[in-house]
Chain A
Amino acid sequence: MNISPAKFHTLALAGVWILGVLSWATAFLLPLDWPVSSMTDRSALIPIGPVSEFVVPGQLFGTPEAVSAIDVLIRVGGPFGASTPVGMAVYEDVERTSLVARSGAEPVSVPAGLAVIRFDLDVAIDGNRRFYLELEIPPDNPWPIFVGGTRDDPRRAGDYLYLERRPGWSDQDLAYQFFRRQTGIQRFIHIASVRPEMAWTIVLSLVAVLGMSAGLSLLALRNYGWMTISGAAVALPGLALLALLVWLLL
């Protein structure tokens, strides 16, 4: 099939613009799990347990912003590959008067011991509030179960580990990490409202990267028209951004 140069130019022009618009739109509109700051860097990791339907592990915690998923560390005993369903319930307070959200997962016994288990909450919980979460071990679970905890962490005063629904040591906590499901544009608006300096860094970096892409496009496509060059200048960072977001957050 012969394609005339003019047709090829038109196709190339349409291609780069479609690619550019699609990549930026996807990067901005794809819902992703954004990590929300919660744990400190200096926490020492410890196994807590064995926990069971009677020795219920719980945690009182504060959320810096709305949260839609929580990672915790769970170790399932027994042969590698053995698994057991574990539930997570989030309550308004330690008295468990009002259930806020619920989730479930099925951790598997692995050689590494503690494994990170993601609990996607059925309802996102609000930000800037305190909640109480519990892990629910089924009564017919045949394996010893441990949960990951942190130690020596004075900066998290107020966040209490609970075992058997009684407060534990003040310097110990469940190891948890929060996530919030948002699109890129929602995340950016949130950041811009609470941390403008972070938003400015994002904007300036993107402008500089777009400029670099424009320079490269001008060099590589100097025989093409302005529309093709500007399309490539938009598409290159869009694709890079999309690839980065997918690699980091999916």
Chain B
Amino acid sequence: MSEFADFIRVSLVELSALFAGVGIVAWLLPQERRLPIVLGGGLAVGHALSIFVLMALLRLLPIGLAVPAVFLLALPPAAFAILSLRRRPYIWGVSLGWTVLALSLLTLISVGAVVDLAASVWNGSTHENLVVRMAMAAHAAESPWPVMDPYSPDHQRLYRHAAQVWTAALMRISGAGLYPATVVTVLASVLAIAGGLFAAVARLRSYLAGFLGASLFFTATPSNFLGVWKTPFGSLSTSKAYGLATVKRELAQGYVLGHGLALAPGNDFTLMVGLGAGSGAVFLAATLVDPTTRRRTGIVVAAMALAAAGAAAEQILPVAVATLLAVAAVLAIRRRWTQAISFAALVLLSSAFVLIPEGTYAALAFGSEIGQRAGFAFTPEYFLRLPTEFLFFAGSESHFFAVPAQTFRIWLFEPIALKEIGWIYVALASLIILSRRRNSASILAFAVAPAIALLIPGLVSDRLYEINIAKFTVLGISLGGLAAGVAAAELLARRKAGLARVGAGVLAGGLIVFASATWMLAVPFWPARLSEQPYRHLKEELEATDYLRSLDYGRRALILPGPTDKEEVNSDGWEGMHRFVVSFGATAIPMGLDRWGAAHLYQPYYIPAYDSLDEAAMAQLRIDTIYVAPHLLTEEQERMLESAVAEGRAKLLFESFAGNRQIYEYQPR
């Protein structure tokens, strides 16, 4: 019941921030009377501005003041939104059928996002990515700013911070726990993406284009539905249900290292938050071509929204900036100077604003004394190539869609790439042809964005983790869905008679099917994603981590037994204790997870501390807590702990109700 109350409280707090955006949009677009556009765009703008303002205030104020200041600042525009909705003659203008269809689909997408997140948190279908993000949020809810890396507590993790800090802000202001705050952050992002993209495309093209574009943005994945007849992928049963259930997560993955948004909430919810903010920027950019808008303020607000997107997920900014510059160039060629200058100014301002929040871009520009910087490199030798992963389709054989063996990168037009994301190329080609035939540059922008996202991995590499570059592929697939939706709507909207009508209908239907069928097929397997129960003593784990959170913030724990390096952190070993200690327990584990987290400085001490409770190593790491699963200890570890207790170095502070978790206070002699 208390968690339900948490959900209500944190939802109301989030809604107040979102609703402030509706007020800002109502003020920026005084002539706009279409309620779906004001509401949709407003939700995205509210999401983006709240995050940007919070990150900017954190440069000036302590976090304890910055968080309430953001929500206080949101009150006047939220009040203006209510006044405007009462006084202005807004019209809904969408039929009941479309309204019910769109809201139901949004509900289904929201359910899918929460299931993906929940499966990762409670059912062990994640690796360390989500755990680190949630841990950062939990620590930011307790610690002074800037928050330190939970696995390297003397260092900052200098990459995307904004989503985690926003989740922490929701926890601080509502008093909610980590899980409700994360769920609401993801749901708000879904609303912002749907609303912002719908409103932007609808303003530029039509409601149908807005609906299809936003829908397919969410549902776009590699075309794995083409391979389902090959189940059961070497499994132990002839049951299709069993075969598919064993690949329930991989169903939405592809051979190319990109899976669309279907798996983003449970892997890296920061991308969802960034895209929500980016959708606000896209919506505001779409209003810049309208002379009735308050353009100068709109440019500044759009730049803030884009900066928030870049701060939440750094992959979004280069794609957005390149697309905006392309639009500006086209407008300049057409001698529409005012609009071209508006877009160029938006690019310049957002490039400056993105340096304000702490994170990847600020660290790249200014460096850092206490954190690791990203290791991006210019690698044109990979031009027109995507990073790969041996995922779903690699589990079966295909003579036509050949899977290159042990390939690090594949060519964009290799058969397997054509099978996985060929529908994106068809969508882009359709948009280019439609743009030329209808002499409409606004159609072309929807083709440019996914093309850029898919081309960037061919030019840039991340020397630390290739998966950071693969997120451009994730973005490219989602933007490909947007492109497919816009193309389908355009094809359906102005069909000619006869064969052309049939052809346009078939092409539009094909694009919709290819962009959404894998996602749709995955829907029946959502319950199966919640079936695994890898954490045998979850109730005791949460009881113990609650206790940890009740202690003064800043504790550093040794997990006994537990992982000692990144590979072990990613494993399901030790009942996943470390995952809950760093996140729900808001306690640091000073092992140095990876190269982002200065592992080389922590590993030489954590390993002797783990192996023998070495006093010098424990003191060096300032470990003050030992988190123990007594039933998992080896005899040697039991002896080691007993001797530490006998020597007065370890004192039992807490034992869970069934005795499967213990917390010791460690004191050096």
> What is A's interface to B at a CB cutoff of 8 Å?
33-35, 37, 39, 41, 43, 45, 71, 73, 116, 118, 148, 175-177, 179, 191, 195, 197-199, 201-202, 204-205, 207-212, 214-219, 222, 244, 247-249
Q: Are A197 and B530 in contact (CB under 8 A)?
A: yes
Q: Who on chain A is nearest to B521 by CB?
A: A244
Q: Are A215 and B238 in contact (CB under 8 A)?
A: no
Q: Are A116 and B238 in contact (CB under 8 A)?
A: yes
Q: Are A191 and B100 in contact (CB under 8 A)?
A: no
Contact of A33 among B96, B239, B244 (CB under 8 A): B239
Q: A35-B245, A218-B100 are in contact. Are A208 and B238 (CB under 8 A)?
A: no
B83 CB, nearest partner CB in chain A, Å? 32
A215 CB, nearest partner CB in chain B, Å? 3
Q: In the complex, A175→B237 CA distance in Å?
A: 9
Q: Does B320 contact A (CB under 8 A)?
A: no
Chain B contacts of A35 at CB under 8 A?
Answer: 237, 239, 241-242, 245
B119 CB, nearest partner CB in chain A, Å? 10
Sample 9 A-B pairs with CB under 8 A, ordered by A number: A45-B234, A175-B236, A197-B122, A197-B530, A198-B530, A205-B108, A205-B523, A247-B240, A249-B240
> What is B's interface to A at a CB cutoff of 8 Å?
95-105, 107-108, 111, 115, 118, 122, 234-242, 244-246, 523-524, 526-527, 530-532
Q: A197-B118, A216-B97, A218-B96 are in contact. Are A71 and B238 (CB under 8 A)?
A: yes
Q: Who on chain B is nearest to A188 by CB?
A: B527
Q: Are A215 and B237 in contact (CB under 8 A)?
A: no
Q: Are A208 and B111 in contact (CB under 8 A)?
A: yes
A158 CB, nearest partner CB in chain B, Å? 14
Q: Are B239 and A201 in contact (CB under 8 A)?
A: no
Q: In the complex, A217→B97 CA distance in Å?
A: 7
Q: In the complex, A73→B237 CA distance in Å?
A: 8
B632 CB, nearest partner CB in chain A, Å? 13
A246 CB, nearest partner CB in chain B, Å? 10
Contact of B100 among A148, A214, A249 (CB under 8 A): A214
Q: A197-B118, A208-B104, A208-B108 are in contact. Are A218 and B97 (CB under 8 A)?
A: yes
Chain A contacts of B111 at CB under 8 A?
Answer: 201, 204-205, 208
Chain A contacts of B237 at CB under 8 A?
Answer: 35, 71, 116, 177
Q: Who on chain B is nearest to A70 by CB?
A: B237
Q: Are A71 and B115 in contact (CB under 8 A)?
A: no
B392 CB, nearest partner CB in chain A, Å? 13
Q: Are B100 and A215 in contact (CB under 8 A)?
A: yes
Q: Are A212 and B115 in contact (CB under 8 A)?
A: no
Chain B contacts of A39 at CB under 8 A?
Answer: 236
A220 CB, nearest partner CB in chain B, Å? 8
Q: In the complex, A199→B244 CA distance in Å?
A: 19
Q: A35-B239, A248-B244 are in contact. Are A201 and B530 (CB under 8 A)?
A: yes
Q: Which secondary structure dominates where chain B touches chain A? A: helix
Chain B contacts of A248 at CB under 8 A?
Answer: 239-241, 244, 524
Q: Are A211 and B236 in contact (CB under 8 A)?
A: no
Q: In the complex, A197→B114 CA distance in Å?
A: 11
B198 CB, nearest partner CB in chain A, Å? 15
Q: In the complex, A209→B111 CA distance in Å?
A: 11
Chain A contacts of B100 at CB under 8 A?
Answer: 211-212, 214-215, 218
Query: What 9 A-B pairs have minimum CB-CB distances, sorted nearest first?
Result: A215-B101, A211-B104, A218-B97, A208-B108, A219-B97, A215-B100, A35-B242, A248-B241, A177-B237
Other A-B pairs, 20, CB within 8 Å; known A41-B246, A205-B111 = A35-B245, A37-B532, A39-B236, A45-B234, A71-B237, A71-B238, A177-B239, A195-B531, A197-B118, A197-B122, A198-B530, A204-B111, A205-B108, A205-B526, A208-B105, A211-B101, A215-B101, A218-B95, A219-B101, A248-B241
Q: In the complex, A34→B531 CA distance in Å?
A: 14
Chain A contacts of B234 at CB under 8 A?
Answer: 45
Q: Are B107 and A211 in contact (CB under 8 A)?
A: yes
Q: In the complex, A208→B531 CA distance in Å?
A: 21
Chain B contacts of A201 at CB under 8 A?
Answer: 111, 115, 526-527, 530
Q: Who on chain A is nearest to B524 by CB?
A: A244
Q: Are B95 and A219 in contact (CB under 8 A)?
A: yes
Q: Who on chain B is nearest to A116 by CB?
A: B238
Q: B111, B122, B241, B526: which has the most chain A beta carbons within 10 Å?
A: B241
A147 CB, nearest partner CB in chain B, Å? 12
Q: Are B101 and A216 in contact (CB under 8 A)?
A: yes
Q: Are A212 and B531 in contact (CB under 8 A)?
A: no
Chain B contacts of A205 at CB under 8 A?
Answer: 108, 111, 523, 526
Q: Who on chain B is nearest to A118 by CB?
A: B238
Q: Are B236 and A195 in contact (CB under 8 A)?
A: no
Q: Who on chain B is nearest to A218 by CB?
A: B97
Chain B contacts of A211 at CB under 8 A?
Answer: 100-101, 103-104, 107
Q: In the complex, A116→B98 CA distance in Å?
A: 47
A37 CB, nearest partner CB in chain B, Å? 6
Chain B contacts of A199 at CB under 8 A?
Answer: 527
Chain B contacts of A71 at CB under 8 A?
Answer: 236-239
Chain A contacts of B122 at CB under 8 A?
Answer: 197
Q: In the complex, A23→B101 CA distance in Å?
A: 22
Q: In the complex, A218→B108 CA distance in Å?
A: 19
Q: In the complex, A218→B96 CA distance in Å?
A: 7
Q: A191-B527, A197-B118 are in contact. Are A219 and B98 (CB under 8 A)?
A: yes
Q: In the complex, A205→B104 CA distance in Å?
A: 10
Contact of B104 among A202, A215, A244 (CB under 8 A): A215
Q: In the complex, A71→B100 CA distance in Å?
A: 44
Chain A contacts of B102 at CB under 8 A?
Answer: 215
Q: In the complex, A155→B242 CA distance in Å?
A: 20
Q: Who on chain A is nearest to B244 by CB?
A: A248
B575 CB, nearest partner CB in chain A, Å? 11
Q: In the complex, A147→B96 CA distance in Å?
A: 59
Q: A215-B99, A219-B95 are in contact. Are A177 and B530 (CB under 8 A)?
A: no
B252 CB, nearest partner CB in chain A, Å? 15
Q: In the complex, A197→B121 CA distance in Å?
A: 13
Q: Are A249 and B530 in contact (CB under 8 A)?
A: no
Chain B contacts of A195 at CB under 8 A?
Answer: 530-531
Q: Are B530 and A209 in contact (CB under 8 A)?
A: no
Q: Who on chain B is nearest to A34 by CB?
A: B241
B568 CB, nearest partner CB in chain A, Å? 15
Q: Are A249 and B239 in contact (CB under 8 A)?
A: yes
Q: In the complex, A185→B65 CA distance in Å?
A: 53
Q: Are A148 and B236 in contact (CB under 8 A)?
A: yes
Q: Who on chain A is nearest to B239 by CB?
A: A35
Chain B contacts of A219 at CB under 8 A?
Answer: 95, 97-98, 101
B512 CB, nearest partner CB in chain A, Å? 13
Q: Are A212 and B526 in contact (CB under 8 A)?
A: no
Q: Who on chain A is nearest to B528 by CB?
A: A198
Chain A contacts of B107 at CB under 8 A?
Answer: 204, 207-208, 211
Chain A contacts of B235 at CB under 8 A?
Answer: 177
Q: In the complex, A211→B96 CA distance in Å?
A: 12
Q: Who on chain A is nearest to B106 by CB?
A: A208
B569 CB, nearest partner CB in chain A, Å? 18
Q: Who on chain A is nearest to B240 by CB?
A: A248
Q: Are B531 and A249 in contact (CB under 8 A)?
A: no
Q: A118, A218, A244: which has the most chain B beta carbons within 10 Å?
A: A218
Chain B contacts of A207 at CB under 8 A?
Answer: 107
Q: Are A249 and B241 in contact (CB under 8 A)?
A: yes
Q: In the complex, A206→B62 CA distance in Å?
A: 46
A176 CB, nearest partner CB in chain B, Å? 7
A48 CB, nearest partner CB in chain B, Å? 14
Q: B101, B103, B240: which has the most chain A beta carbons within 10 Å?
A: B101
Chain A contacts of B244 at CB under 8 A?
Answer: 248
Q: A208-B108, A208-B111 are in contact. Are A37 and B531 (CB under 8 A)?
A: yes
Q: Are A212 and B236 in contact (CB under 8 A)?
A: no
Q: In the complex, A211→B240 CA distance in Å?
A: 28
Contact of B527 among A118, A177, A202, A249 (CB under 8 A): A202
